[in-house]
Copies of this chain bind each other. A is one copy, B any other.
Amino acid sequence: MKQMQYAGALSRLIGELARLPGIGSKTAQRLAFYLLNAPPEVAVRLADAIREAREKVRRCSLCGNLTDVDPCPVCTNQNRNNGIICVVQDPRDVVAIEKYRGFKGVYHVLHGALSPLAGVGPEELNIKSLLARLAGGRVQEVILATNPDVEGDATALYLARLIKPLGIKVTRLARGLPVGAHLEYADEVTLGRAIEGRREIE
């Protein structure tokens, strides 16, 4: 363990940074030295931001998106159409679609996609609260905006079979998205085309 040679507190900081995904031991050292050499407020602000995010950020009890007020600002926004729910896998997908600006419905965040190999079944996803929202009878359309890959398609098919019997229109984003891509990296124009060209699942 190379970092054991550093002072205890420095060694611990390097160790904690190296636990982060994609951060190796050299990068962890570089970041630790940066935090020690930068003005003190840089390190304090980062430490505070980590604690504050852990304490304040939670899932919206309606849509499941990450928020620090519950329900989240999208769910309580009077200018949004509660009759159209866009179902996505990840909070980052909400941000990607919001950049398009053309969608005025609301969201539902699954926090993942069905993946039997990874042990992710319907119970692991935020699906029950979606069905509870649909039971109110006011929703006209559910847009299944899961990723256009195997897990995302399987999740969309699973949800479509649950939702269509309720008499609600179920659509999937048009295949303007490159197959195998991740929604979060799509540009606004491509996303806009995909939302405008959405088609009903037969």
Seen from chain A, the residues whose Cβ lies within 8 Å of a Cβ on chain B are 2-3, 5-10, 12-13, 15-17, 19-23, 27, 29-36, 40, 42-57, 66-69, 72, 91-92, 94-95, 98-99
Contacts and interface: CB of A to CB of B under 8 A. Distances in A.
Contacts of A8: 56, 68
A125 to B, nearest CB: 14
SS class, residues of chain A in contact with chain B: helix
A29 B96 CA distance: 13
Contact of A53 (B12, B42, B51): B12
A43 B50 contact: yes
B57 A7 contact: yes
Nearest to A92: B29
Most buried by B among A7, A17, A56: A7
B21 A66 contact: no
Contact of A67 (B7, B43, B51, B57): B7
A50 B3 CA distance: 15
A29 B91 CA distance: 11
21 contacts: A2-B95, A5-B94, A5-B95, A7-B66, A8-B68, A9-B57, A10-B57, A10-B68, A12-B49, A13-B49, A16-B45, A17-B46, A19-B42, A19-B46, A22-B30, A36-B53, A36-B57, A44-B54, A46-B50, A47-B48, A47-B51
B50 A35 contact: yes
A6 B52 contact: no
Nearest to A96: B2
A36 B35 CA distance: 21
